[in-house]
Amino acid sequence: GSNLSGFMSADSAAVPDKTMVPYLGHRQDGQREVNIVHNTILGTDVFTTGRGMGTMTSQTQHSNAPRNGILVKVVDTPNIDELPVPLEEEMKLWKSLTTPYPNAILLTVRCDVRYTAEEYAIYQKIKQCWGESFNRRLVVAFTFGDRQDRNLSQELETVCPELKSVLHDAKERYVVFNNQVADKESQAEELLKIINFMEVQKEEPEGFDTQEWVLLGVAVASGLVFAAFLTADMGVPAALFGVTCGASGIGLAALHIYKKLRNQ
Give the phi and the psi of residue 39 in degrees, each rounded to 5.
-65, -35
Residue 237 preceded by cis peptide, ω within 30:
no
SS3 204: coil
Query: Higher-confidence residue: 240 or 90?
Result: 90
Of 60, 65, 64, nearest to 26 by C-alpha is 60
Query: Higher-confidence residue: 257 or 112?
Result: 112
Instruction: Please tell me the number of Cα atoms within 13 Å of 194 on its side-chain side.
Output: 29
What number is the average pLDDT over the span 33-56? 65
Domain boundaries, the chain: 16-113+128-199+212-258
Query: Higher-confidence residue: 207 or 82?
Result: 82
What number is the average pLDDT over the span 79-97? 71
Query: Higher-confidence residue: 28 or 110?
Result: 110
Residue-level pLDDT at 175 = 81
What number is the average pLDDT over the span 192-217? 47
Between the alpha carbon of residue 11 and those of residues 157, 165, 178, 219, the distances in Å are 30, 30, 20, 28
pTM for the model stands at 0.60
16-113+128-199+212-258 belongs to which homologous superfamily?
A: P-loop containing nucleotide triphosphate hydrolases (3.40.50.300)
Q: What is the rounded CA–CA span in Å between residue 261 and residue 264?
A: 5
What number is the average pLDDT over the span 193-215? 47
DSSP helix, strand, coil percent of the chain (3-state; round to 5): 30, 25, 45
